[in-house]
Structure 1
Amino acid sequence: MFGTGIIVFRETLEAAMIIGILAAATVGIAGRSRMLLGGIAAGVAGAIVVALLTGRIAEMAGGTGQDLMNASILGFAVLMLAWHNIWMSRHGAALAQEARRVGHAVRGGEKTLLTLFVVIALAVLREGSETVLFVYGSMAGSETSALQVLTSGSLGLGAGALAGFLLYAGFLRIPLRWFFAATSGLILLLAAAMASQMARFLVQSDVLPDFGNPLWDTTGLLSNTSPAGVLLHALMGYDATPSGLQVVFYVTTLIVILFAMWMLRYRKDTISRF
């Protein structure tokens, strides 16, 4: 439940950033509000189509192939989360700069208002589609109810939209990088948690060996069903009785994503010195 809220918050904030920048850069232009709202509506409609298609595919995978389907969804979600964190570690600032450039180009007459519509529609579609995939991944094999997902997602959506509005309205003086640093850390843990869940499904399907099941048992200290255990499972994938393969997938995912993020930042800093 908490993971869903975090993911929705992060994706909503990114879309709100782009919308806010473009809105601020095109104040006073006739027809600008219509294009902004139209772009948002088109992006949301596209994300709904993606959600419907994803749901249809998941329904088709019922029966014996459900574990493998869950593992596939989780694996793809892990890849997307990894790409998301790695890409944003280097290109987050560039994304905001590009939005400003487009807004100024529209204001200066170099680009038409249709560009505003297209850029916002694509931004909302991209973030909405990623949200759908990540939420399906976080729900795969879990006991989270649809109501819990809807509640958590709604809270994340509202918080992300409000934070984006307040940041660009000037009410919040908190550097944007702090938001992204905090959520990047949480998303990193969510990616590792999803990788661990994927390993569990692969073991259940007899695709891979378990390498010891359970590798340890901390139920006496903190059970999976306790309030703290449920919270830690949602935030960082805690499991009181993990298999050895789950631990391998979890740790490997953390190391690979962190190393890739470090390498990109190191290369960026090296290039900037010349």
Structure 2
Amino acid sequence: MFGNYLIGLREGLEASLVVCILIAYLVKTGRRDALRPVWAGIAVAVLLAFGFGCALTFGSQELTFEAQEALGGSLSIVAVGLVTWMVFWMRRTARHLKQELTGRLDAALQMGTAALVATAFLAVGREGLETALFVWASVRASNDGTHGPLIGVLLGLATAVVLGWLFYRGALRINLAKFFTWTGGMLVIVAAGVLAYGVHDLQEAGWVPGLRNLAFDISGTIPPDSWYGTLLKGVFNFQPDPTVVQVAVWALYLVLTLALFLSPVGFGPGKPKVKGTDAQASDSAQAQAR
């Protein structure tokens, strides 16, 4: 449940910050008349993400077992790819998010209502679709037969909405650069578990060999239905009897991704870390609300 809460919190907070910056900028510049089309674009983006999640959940139930496993495994890998890209992108551009969004909004204000709707829709819609896909893959990987994973996601999203509102009101100040670094690292660990489960789905579908070649089996030591087994499953998508391919993919992804993520050279050229920049990043949303 914690892993899914982290997904909802991290993804939801990004969307909340985007909304906060857009709305605060319009209020600050005296363009309250543009709030309605912006909210319309945000609403359409949220509905699209919700519809996409429903389509993934209910549409796959009509497929055969092999087709379900192939679809689930493929989409899990796609979700991990998107989330990995998002983690690196946010770490690299968190300091410049305000300037990027307000620049787009200035251009949209000159083009008219349709451009405002499109700007808000694209800014929030990308986050929403990524969230829906990764949440679906993570909940499917949890596979604990309860509503715990979904509840964790909803609690994370609710927390993100509250934090976004507090940012807008100027009542909350945190170091966003450090926040996205720590949560990004934890999200990489969650993504590694989703990736391993996706590979297992592809093995079930017959797309990847080695389904019967177990790396180890510690089900007797860590029963999946025990409280600690459930905890490990909920946080890390831990499986007590993974295949050799699953372990290899999990370890390779985790080691390489974390090494690159924690290395300063992994964030692209031309953005050196300057003393004091992190502190400025923590106030990006609040500065727009004043």
The one-letter code sitting in structure 1 at the alignment partner of 2:190 is: L
Match of 1:125 in 2: 125
Partner Cα distance (1:30, 1:67) in 2 = 48
CA 1:243 to 1:168, structure 2 compared with 1: closer, same or farther past 3 Å? Answer: same
The one-letter code sitting in structure 1 at the alignment partner of 2:210 is: P
Match of 1:47 in 2: 49
CA 1:146 to 1:100, structure 2 compared with 1: closer, same or farther past 3 Å? Answer: farther
CA 1:245 to 1:211, structure 2 compared with 1: closer, same or farther past 3 Å? Answer: farther
Partner Cα distance (1:269, 1:142) in 2 = 38
TM-score, scaled to structure 2: 0.80
Tell me, yes or no, if the aligned pair for 2:2 and 2:152 is still in contact at 8 Å: yes
CA 1:153 to 1:19, structure 2 compared with 1: closer, same or farther past 3 Å? Answer: same
* RMSD (CA atoms): 2.8
User: Which segment is superposed worse, 185-194 or 207-216?
Assistant: 207-216
After superposition, the C-alpha distances for 1:133-152 in whole angstroms (9 at most, x for unaligned) are 11221133543447334422
Structure 2 residue runs of 5 or longer lacking an equivalent are 275-290
Partner Cα distance (2:183, 2:46) in 1 = 23
Match of 1:200 in 2: 200
The one-letter code sitting in structure 2 at the alignment partner of 1:225 is: D
**Equivalent residue of 1:136, what SS?**
helix
CA 1:118 to 1:205, structure 2 compared with 1: closer, same or farther past 3 Å? Answer: closer
Structure 1 residue runs of 5 or longer lacking an equivalent are none
For residue 259 of structure 1, report the CA deviation from its aligned partner.
4.4
**Identity score, percent:** 28
Note the 1:1-274 alignment, pairs <5 A: 1-27=1-27, 28-55=30-57, 57-103=59-105, 110=110, 112=112, 114-140=114-140, 142-145=142-145, 147-206=147-206, 207-210=208-211, 212-217=213-218, 219-220=220-221, 222-261=222-261, 262=263, 263-265=265-267, 267-268=269-270
For residue 243 of structure 1, report the CA deviation from its aligned partner.
2.3
Give the number of equivalent residue pairs. 269
CA 1:64 to 1:203, structure 2 compared with 1: closer, same or farther past 3 Å? Answer: closer
